[in-house]
Amino acid sequence: MNYTSPNIHININDYDYIVSLGNKCPTTMVLRVLNLYKESFPFDHIPTTPKLILKYLKDTSNFFPEKDKINNIDGIWFGHFNTTDKYDEAIETFKRRFKRLFEILQNKKKILFVYTSEADIYNELNSYYKNNYIDLCNIANYIKDKYKSDNFIILAIHTNKIYENTNNIINYTINVPEIYLSDDRSTRIRHIMDMYRNTLKLLIKDILKI
């Protein structure tokens, strides 16, 4: 796995908050390893898609799983959270995280959103075949319209897909050899995930010059 050296860099000191937009745990994991994870937000440590994130930004009601269920109505997995004997605590945790996110948006804080795409490798949630870039654009447009602010950037790191940058989205690509790709999650194995996550860490370090 490899990537093209960044030609656009981001100064993290320009931002008040760094917020994960999924699509899986590695986004938050890498931010933590790089000492960039300062605040928790609702899309940490759960698999999502940009389309679902936009849905939940508009209305959080379908986000929360039912008690004793590991998935919500959209199939989002909450396996890192105790939705059985500590269900109420888990739900309150996510409500606090949504409240924090909505407050910093309403207060027009400078936000660096980070989206990465490990799920594309093994096509979790059919992610590889979705046009997640269009949905990221829809997220950006929704935030600008809803909160009357464009005080944010989405750093989007795609798998084997290349897109043009916009005023609010900076795109990069991790090149994953076809032998590591699957449609049935059969390549969701440790050494492939570790290769991706190490490449992701190196790319983010290069982009942020840290």
Q: Which helix (H) or strand (E) holds 18?
A: strand 17-20
Q: What is the pLDDT of residues 93-103, one digit of tens each?
A: 999 999 999 99
Tell me the percentage of the chain whose pLDDT exceeds 90. 100
Q: What is the pLDDT of residues 4-45, one digit of tens each?
A: 999 999 999 999 999 999 999 999 999 999 999 999 999 999
Please state whether 185 falls in left (phi above 0), alpha (psi between -120 and 50) or beta.
Answer: left
- Structure confidence at residue 177 (pLDDT): 98
- Structure confidence at residue 7 (pLDDT): 93
Instruction: State the average pLDDT over residues 73-78.
Output: 96
2-3 sheet: strands from edge to edge:
2-3, 169-175, 152-159, 111-115, 17-20
Q: What is the pLDDT of residues 132-171, one digit of tens each?
A: 999 999 999 999 999 999 999 999 999 999 999 999 999 9
- Structure confidence at residue 97 (pLDDT): 98
- Structure confidence at residue 191 (pLDDT): 96
Give the mean pLDDT of the chain: 97
Instruction: State the average pLDDT over residues 173-196.
Output: 96
- Structure confidence at residue 179 (pLDDT): 97
Q: Which residues lie below 8 Å from residue 37, measured CB to CB, with a gap of 6+?
A: 18, 28, 31
- Structure confidence at residue 33 (pLDDT): 96
pLDDT-derived band of residue 69, with 50, 70 and 90 as boundaries?
very high
